[in-house]
Chain A
Amino acid sequence: MFIASTAVLIVPVITTTEAKQSAWIVTFTFPVIFGYMVLWTVYKLGNRFPGLSIVQYSEIILGTFVGKTLGVLIALFWLFMNILVIEEYTDFLRITTLPLTPTSVLTTIIVLLSLYGARQGLEVIARSAQFTLPLFLLIFFVGLILTIPRLNLGWLLPVFEDGVIPVIRGSVVPSTWYGQVVVLVMLLPLVNKPVETKRKGVIVFAAVALFLTIDIVFVIATFGPELTSKLMFPLWSMFKYAGYRDFIQRLEVLGVFIWFTGIIIKTTTLDYLICQTTAQVLGLKDYRSVLYVLAFIQIPGSLIFFTNSIALKEFLGTYWPPIAILFELGIPIFLLIIAVIRKKRTGAVK
């Protein structure tokens, strides 16, 4: 399978799409460190077991039974994450643009579309991400530039007013976004230049961190911290503000549009991951057969779990971070430690 090394490009799209609607991050340092740790662990594991995915090497490290159980758990984690993403997205659409459309219709269409993409394979997903990324950046920066006249930099001060603790607490949730580089545990064996991945990963991290920081600085400077924390989708509101005179207005449509492509690519990637993981656990030859089953789980899944955005936000803020951190950092580190102790490896020592 020929996969451009640019599969890594999916990662920024995945990470930033989440961050769009949440301006209540006050920092970017801790999440970046967290994300880097995840990346490092994943990379080390990938180095130890070249050409194998987490499902395969966890079986080597922990034995077949425990390994397979872990594989199932990981598949469930992707599934749950995907349902969350779809839920967030339909929620956003329901509030902003399509108040009267039944959610089930939207969910169904999005799930079917992402399954179609997953069926096309990782390469197609990667290329689609590559295609949309420039557009994404372009629209984002146009939006930012047009907001400049409305900025009030005074809002950004004072720094560390309440000490460091709230900052750390605030960085828990964003950490999980950065931690989503963990998708590489499945993707790494498919990337055709794994050695470059680490370097590229670092670059991607820097880019994403920069991106998010700019985002937050702009949002807070536009609305002030008080208002920002109360807005549901601050960046969207900010794009609403952006404009030049009378003829460039309502940029939030473009914003929604481009954010939306990111979300679709993200759910597609997750779908792909679920299918791959399941297929590897079950020892199936073709991951595509899992796709059809997946459709029946996901559509009702995302309709039943959360009925309103308050519940969703509550869940995302309270219960999700521990789970995410466990799967993103905990399991890979655990595997790495066991692998080091039991001296398991398939690749040559570098």
Chain B
Amino acid sequence: MIKKLLYRALGFPKWQGPKGNTPPQRPKETHPLSANIDRNKQDLQQVFDHCADIVYRDIRINVNKPIKAFLVYAEHLIDSKVGNESILRALMSVSPEISIANAEIAEVINERLLTVMETKTTSDLLDLVNQVLKGGVALVLEGSSTAIICMVEGGPERAITEPTVEPGVRGPRDAFVEDYKTNLALIRRRLCSSRLKVEIFELGEITKTEVAIVYLKGIANDKIVEEVRKRISRIKIDVVQGGNVVEELIQDEPFSLFPLVQWTERPDKAASFLAEGRVDIIVNHSPLALIVPITFVTMLQAAEDYYNEAAFTTFIRLLRVAAVNITLLLPAIVVAVVSFHQELLPDKLFNTIATVRQGLPFPIFLEILFVELTFELLREAGIRLPRAIGQAISIVGGLVIGQAAVDAGFIGPLAVVTVSLTAIASFAIPNYSAGTALRILRLFLIVMSALLGGIGIGLGLMFILYYLNGLRSFGVPYLAPLAPWVPGDWKDTFVRVPWWAMLTRPRLWGAKEPVRQDLDQGARKPDEGESQQ
């Protein structure tokens, strides 16, 4: 229903999309290459009309009878060094002894002359065009209706750097980059198994973005893999700008406040998710891998958890649970207690608060709302600004506004303290997307508690509980393993047990091969171990 309304609001008379506004359905065209080289060149020049970065290079291959040929490629999409070495030199310095019959020109050149790792042949002009645009060098030969495409992609690319969004102390230091092949390599390097399967789809009428589904066969649930495959192949869109487009098109709920797809920039995290039986989705030009299915507790896990000691991690995880609760509830509770349930405070605390709040012009609800909004503004401004100016913002925002507003008596220190604590707690949640969801719900709860006090918070929480319980990520209940109750999966949620106790894979999404490792590999003292043997 909301979908319908939204489509209405956007000006579509019917939400199914009216006839005039459907995207053009282009049939898959084909245009065979001809054996006449000049004709082919003309055709290509017509297709690449006004494309200044497309280069044509005429050459002559000196075999027993010289063959006219030309190369066509996009200037900055190829590695010109490899192109020079392996294509031009290979073709131009052939000895004239090699004899080629007319029928098999393309085949012989491909098999004997070109020293390029990856080549393809095509007899379709439009396919050739696509390959050229993806960084191929096409070799069109006289007297052959088959062209050879040498994949020598290159050009500008970012080097692998340290993770910036999810940094760690003890873990590996590499992060995904924009190129999906590099990203696949980073995962493949970590999981040296032929069971790691990679399936590549091409999405986007214009962008032709490669989207790879990565999973471990025999560990990931086939149904989920099939579902991912189905949902991705259903996408018909013009432009895939980044991973987020795919994320929003494949998730279970049309309007979800909480992320139903996890993302990470760390290959180690992506790989470990695969080993748990989940599915990674890697979108070209996006430095983030998408992961499904996920649950709410995935939001509380950081990659660093698995490189630190189990006991310490458990402590940190409990701290994060507290952080979630503070982020969500603290301002609402303060509003409720100060304006509805003063009797809940111990006498001394009540006196303190009453003294502080004396002479303040606004009710606590407005104060907290004001400080909250100021903080959100600061955060937003801080993200957009260049780093150097960002510093100034934090000084103006934090010190000047905060201090001055309190000194002037507009707002009380209670509101400032509350919001600051909330802000700090919200930064302690590892998943950025979950943090944003909690921020919105926090405002909702503040309003509820201003209306009905503690009962309002309770009603709001029940609403959130119903909402969360209704969510699913690729069929997996969002609040699992809390509800439905799966005690076996608790070992990696609020606690993190040592590795020797991580005996089974999570059961929620029906990972096959549930047992991960041998029983009883725990640490033991040397003499005990010997006596047991």
Contact = CB atoms under 8 A, between A and B. Distances in A.
Say whether A and B bind each other: yes
Interface of A: 4, 6, 93, 97-98, 101, 105-106, 109-110, 113, 116-117, 120-121, 123-125, 127-128, 130-132, 246-247, 249-250, 253, 256-257, 260-261, 264, 268
Contacts of B459: 109-110, 113, 264
Given A130-B484, A131-B482, A120 B462 contact: no
A113 B465 CA distance: 11
Contact of A132 (B343, B463, B465, B470): B465
B469 interface: yes
Contacts of B467: 120
Nearest to A109: B459
Contact of B479 (A105, A131, A247): A131
Given A257-B454, A260-B455, A250 B343 contact: yes
Given A124-B470, A250-B343, A264 B485 contact: no
B346 interface: yes
**Interface SS of chain A:** helix
A101 B466 contact: no
Q: Give the most central of B346, B453, B469: most A CB within 10 Å.
A: B469
B346 A249 contact: yes
A189 B359 CA distance: 62
Interface string B176-214: 000000000000000000000000000000000000000
B458 interface: yes
Contacts of B463: 113, 116
A268 B344 CA distance: 30
Nearest to B456: A109
Nearest to A131: B483
Given A117-B466, A128-B466, A250-B344, A4 B484 contact: yes
Contacts of B461: 261
B341 interface: yes
A97 B466 contact: no
A122 to B, nearest CB: 11
A130 B483 contact: yes
Contacts of B455: 93, 97-98, 106, 256, 260
A128 to B, nearest CB: 5
Contact of B453 (A97, A117, A127, A261): A97
Contacts of B462: 113, 117, 128, 261, 264
Contact of B469 (A98, A106, A127, A264): A127
A261 B458 contact: yes
B469 A131 contact: yes
Nearest to B346: A246
A128 B477 CA distance: 12
A124 B484 contact: no
Interface string B445-473: 00000001111001101110111011000
- Among all A-B residue pairs, the 3 with the closest Cβ atoms: A127-B483, A131-B483, A120-B470
Contacts of A97: 340-341, 453-455
B473 to A, nearest CB: 14
17 contacts: A6-B485, A97-B341, A97-B453, A97-B454, A98-B452, A113-B462, A116-B463, A117-B466, A120-B466, A124-B466, A127-B479, A128-B465, A130-B483, A131-B465, A247-B346, A253-B344, A260-B455
Contacts of A109: 452, 459
Q: Give the most central of B346, B458, B461: most A CB within 10 Å.
A: B458
Contacts of B344: 250, 253
B453 to A, nearest CB: 7
Q: Give the most central of A4, A120, A131: most B CB within 10 Å.
A: A131
A249 B341 CA distance: 13
A124 B346 contact: no
A123 B484 CA distance: 9
A342 B103 CA distance: 86
Given A253-B344, A261-B462, A127 B484 contact: yes
Contacts of A246: 346
B469 A128 contact: yes
Interface in B16-37: none
Given A128-B466, A128-B469, A247-B346, A101 B452 contact: yes
A257 B457 CA distance: 9
B477 A257 contact: no
A340 B483 CA distance: 39
A264 B466 CA distance: 11
A116 B485 contact: no
Given A6-B484, A124-B470, A106 B452 contact: yes
Contacts of B340: 97-98
A93 B341 CA distance: 13
Nearest to B461: A261
A97 B453 CA distance: 9
